[in-house]
C-alpha cells in the first residue's frame, strides 16, 4: 500500500486523489441529501450556488498545494533524520539559492492571481445583480432577538417566518431583501440560500435569493448581538407561487375577531401588551415586539425557540425567560385568569 506512494509518480497519484476527493462533495450533493439543513455545500439558490462552485475550485487548488507541501515536509523530516551510525560532522551548509526564491515567489503569485480573479467574478455576480421584473421585495429588520419582515408590495408586516416564492430559472422571481437593524449588529444567514449579510443600524444592506426548490430552509443570526444571539433563529419557507399568494392574502387580512375571545382581546389592549405588539385591526400598534396579527400562522414562538402550541404560548407569556433567558420581553404582570384569557384570544389569531 505504501509503495503506491513512493517515487515521483506518487505525486501524480496524490493529485488524482485530490481531484477525486473534491468531486465527492459534488457527487453527494447530486444525491439531494444535504446531510444538514444548514449545509453550505447543499445550495438551493444562485448566490449559494455561485459560492459553492467557487469553493470547489478553490478546494482543489488548495488541496493540491497542501498535498505537495505536506508531502515534502513529511519526506524531509523522515529522510533527513540524524542516524546514529553517522559521524559527528555537520552536513553541508547551504545558505540559499536565488533561483529557488524566485521560483517559490512567482508560482504563488500566479496562484494568487487565479484565485483573486475567480473570487472577483463571483463577488461581482452576487453583489451587483440587478432586480428583474417580478422580484419580491422584503425589508428585513433585525431586533434583539427576533426578525421583522415588511412586504411593502403587499402592505403587511410579518415576524420570524420569511415566506418567498420558488424561482423558476427560466423566468426568475427572486426575493430581494433590504436589511436594516433596530438596535445592534445582526447577520442573516441561511446557508443553503446565500452567504450571510449583516444588518447594521444606520447602514442599510441588500441581498437576494432565488430558491430553486420549495421547502423550509433554516439558519440563524450570525453576528453576536447579545444574550440570546444563539436563539435568534431563521425560518425561510420557499413555496410554490400559489401557496405563496395564498399566504400573502392571509397575512394581508386584519386580525380575526372572535366574539368568544372578546375578554382576552380587551385585556390585550388594557395591559402592557399593546405597547410593544401590533394586532392589525385593533388598537394595539406597538413596534418594539413582533407583529401578532397572524400569530397562529407561525410554527414557532420566540423566533424558533419553541414550537407554537397553546401550552408553550402560555408559558412564554408567563415568563419568556423560561425559553429564552435574557430575551427583551419582560414577564407581564398578569393573574392566572388574565393569562388564560389572553392566550385564548391569541390562539384565535390565524
CB of 149 to other proteins, least distance (A): 19
Residue number, 279 or 305, with CB nearest to other proteins: 305
CB of 254 to other proteins, least distance (A): 33
Distance between CA atoms of residues 34 and 39, nearest Å: 6
Residue number, 119 or 272, with CB nearest to other proteins: 119
Peptide bond preceding 166 in cis form (omega within 30 of 0): no
Instruction: Report CA dihedral (221, 174, 176, 214) to the nearest 10 degrees.
Output: -30
CB of 265 to other proteins, least distance (A): 33
Residue number, 88 or 242, with CB nearest to other proteins: 88
3-state secondary structure of 163: strand
Distance between CA atoms of residues 273 and 258, nearest Å: 19
Residue number, 11 or 40, with CB nearest to other proteins: 40
Residue number, 257 or 288, with CB nearest to other proteins: 288
Residue 244's alpha-carbon distances to 74, 162, 291, in angstroms, are: 57, 11, 19
Choose among 233, 102, 98: nearest CA to 162.
Answer: 233
C-alpha cell at position 130: 440587478
CB of 173 to other proteins, least distance (A): 23
Peptide bond preceding 65 in cis form (omega within 30 of 0): no
Distance between CA atoms of residues 22 and 61, nearest Å: 10
Contact between residue 48 and residue 194 where contact means Cβ atoms under 8 Å apart: yes
Residue number, 12 or 66, with CB nearest to other proteins: 66
Choose among 52, 73, 77, 59: nearest CA to 18.
Answer: 59
CB of 182 to other proteins, least distance (A): 10
How many angstroms separate the first and last alpha carbons of the chain?
65
CB of 74 to other proteins, least distance (A): 8
Choose among 345, 330, 176: nearest CA to 268.
Answer: 345
Residue number, 184 or 269, with CB nearest to other proteins: 184
Choose among 149, 161, 69: nearest CA to 111.
Answer: 69
Residue number, 90 or 133, with CB nearest to other proteins: 90
CB of 100 to other proteins, least distance (A): 7
CA angle 248, 254, 256 (to 5 degrees): 110
CB of 9 to other proteins, least distance (A): 21
Q: Which residue is it, cell 436563539?
A: 231
C-alpha cell at position 57: 475550485
CB of 319 to other proteins, least distance (A): 15
Residue number, 77 or 336, with CB nearest to other proteins: 77
Amino acid at each position: 500500500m505504501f509503495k503506491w506512494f513512493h517515487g515521483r509518480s506518487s505525486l501524480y497519484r496524490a493529485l488524482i486523489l485530490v481531484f477525486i476527493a473534491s468531486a465527492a462533495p459534488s457527487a453527494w450533493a447530486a444525491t439531494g441529501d444535504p446531510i444538514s439543513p444548514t449545509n453550505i455545500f447543499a445550495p438551493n439558490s444562485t448566490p449559494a450556488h455561485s459560492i459553492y462552485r467557487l469553493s470547489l475550485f478553490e478546494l482543489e487548488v488548495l488541496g493540491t498545494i497542501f498535498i505537495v507541501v505536506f508531502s515534502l515536509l513529511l519526506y524531509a523530516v523522515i529522510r533527513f533524520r540524524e542516524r546514529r551510525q553517522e559521524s559527528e560532522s555537520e552536513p553541508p551548509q547551504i545558505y540559499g539559492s536565488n533561483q529557488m526564491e524566485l521560483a517559490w515567489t512567482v508560482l504563488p503569485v500566479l496562484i494568487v492571481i487565479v484565485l483573486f480573479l475567480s473570487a472577483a467574478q463571483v463577488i461581482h455576480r452576487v453583489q451587483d445583480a440587478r432586480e428583474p421584473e417580478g422580484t419580491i421585495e422584503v425589508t428585513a429588520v433585525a431586533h434583539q432577538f427576533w426578525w421583522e419582515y415588511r412586504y411593502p408590495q403587499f402592505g403587511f408586516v410579518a415576524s420570524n417566518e420569511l415566506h418567498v416564492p420558488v424561482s423558476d430559472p427560466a423566468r426568475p422571481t427572486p426575493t430581494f431583501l433590504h436589511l436594516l437593524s433596530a438596535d445592534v449588529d445582526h447577520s442573516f444567514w441561511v446557508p443553503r440560500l446565500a452567504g450571510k449579510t449583516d444588518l447594521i443600524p444606520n447602514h442599510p444592506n441588500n441581498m437576494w435569493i432565488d430558491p430553486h426548490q420549495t421547502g423550509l430552509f433554516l439558519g440563524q443570526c450570525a453576528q453576536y448581538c447579545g444574550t440570546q444571539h444563539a436563539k435568534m433563529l431563521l425560518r425561510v419557507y420557499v413555496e410554490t407561487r400559489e401557496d405563496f399568494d395564498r399566504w400573502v392574502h392571509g397575512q394581508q387580512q386584519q386580525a380575526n375577531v372572535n366574539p368568544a375571545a372578546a375578554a382576552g382581546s380587551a385585556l390585550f389592549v388594557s395591559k402592557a401588551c399593546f405597547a410593544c405588539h401590533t394586532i392589525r385591526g385593533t388598537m394595539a400598534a406597538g413596534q418594539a415586539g413582533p407583529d401578532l396579527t397572524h400569530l397562529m400562522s407561525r410554527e414557532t414562538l420566540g423566533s424558533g425557540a419553541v414550537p407554537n402550541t397553546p401550552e408553550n404560548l402560555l408559558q412564554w407569556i408567563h415568563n419568556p425567560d423560561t425559553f429564552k433567558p435574557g430575551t427583551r420581553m419582560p414577564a407581564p404582570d398578569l393573574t392566572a385568569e388574565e393569562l388564560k384569557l389572553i392566550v385564548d384570544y391569541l390562539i384565535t389569531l390565524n
